[in-house]
Every structure is written in C-alpha cells, then in structure tokens.
Amino acid sequence: MKVLIDMNLSPAWVKSFTDAGIHAIHWSQVGAPNAPDLEIFNWAIANNFLVFTHDLDFGTLLAANKTKCPSVIQIRTQDVTPENISKTIISVLNRLKDNIEKGALITIDENKSRVRILPIT
C-alpha cells in the first residue's frame, strides 16, 4: 500500500504511516503546492498510490470519472493531526486493505468509517 498525502494535511503524516510500515509521501515531495486536485488525482493513478485527504473534492472526482482508482481516504474531523487520529486511520487502513487494493472511497472520523466500493455510480 502506498499513500499520497494531500497538501491539506501535514507532512508529519509521512512519519505516522512509515512507523506503521506503510509507504507514504506528501504531495509537496512530488508536485507543486498549488496543483489542482485533478493533477494530484491523476498522479496517484499513474503511480499506484491512494490519496489521503481532508478534501471532499476527491470523492467528486471519483464519481465524475467513474474510475476504480485511486482509492481515496477522507478524514472528516476538525483535528486532522496525526497525534489525534493516526491510530484510527492506521487501524482502518489495515482492516480495509482488501477494499483499498480493489478501489474504495473511505470516509473516517473519530467514531466510524464508511466504505464505498469503486466505481461510484
């Protein structure tokens, strides 16, 4: 599993994922900080990464393009720091690994997670 962390989340997330044995990079390592979401989306597809974001636009891109990838993990909480929610995120990623590999939109908050299998129709 390879995670591309969106610009709207801290680069500190790289360490949280790496410490859990998950390969991760922050978008700032590979692209322009002001890149449009579509560029990030297409880069993730081309490089076989899932997108980890706090942005709802990636779900819209998935629905509009009716693709089976990339998987998108959306955090829906106010405090998006790794200190607050990384244990929950890592647990969900490990538990839903099969869905992520096949293509999924996963929404996570402090109390629950929701999975939509791709493509969204």
What pLDDT score does 50 carry?
98
Q: Which residue, among 48, 71, 60, 54, has the nearest Cα to 10 in the 3D structure?
A: 54
Which domain does 46 fall in, by range? 2-117
Give percent above pLDDT 90 in the chain: 97
Residues with Cβ within 8 Å of residue 82, at least 6 apart in sequence: 10, 12, 13, 15, 16
For the beta carbon of residue 102, count every other beta carbon within 10 angstroms.
Answer: 12
What pLDDT score does 110 carry?
84
Q: What is the pLDDT of residues 24-56, one digit of tens each?
A: 999 999 999 999 999 999 999 999 999 999 999
What pLDDT score does 121 carry?
78
Q: What is the pLDDT of residues 72-81, one digit of tens each?
A: 999 999 999 9
What's the domain count of the chain?
1
Look at strands 50-53 and 113-117 and give their pairing.
unpaired
**Average pLDDT value for the chain:** 96
pLDDT band at 18 (very low <50, low <70, confident <90, very high): very high
Give the CATH number, domain containing residue 104.
3.40.50
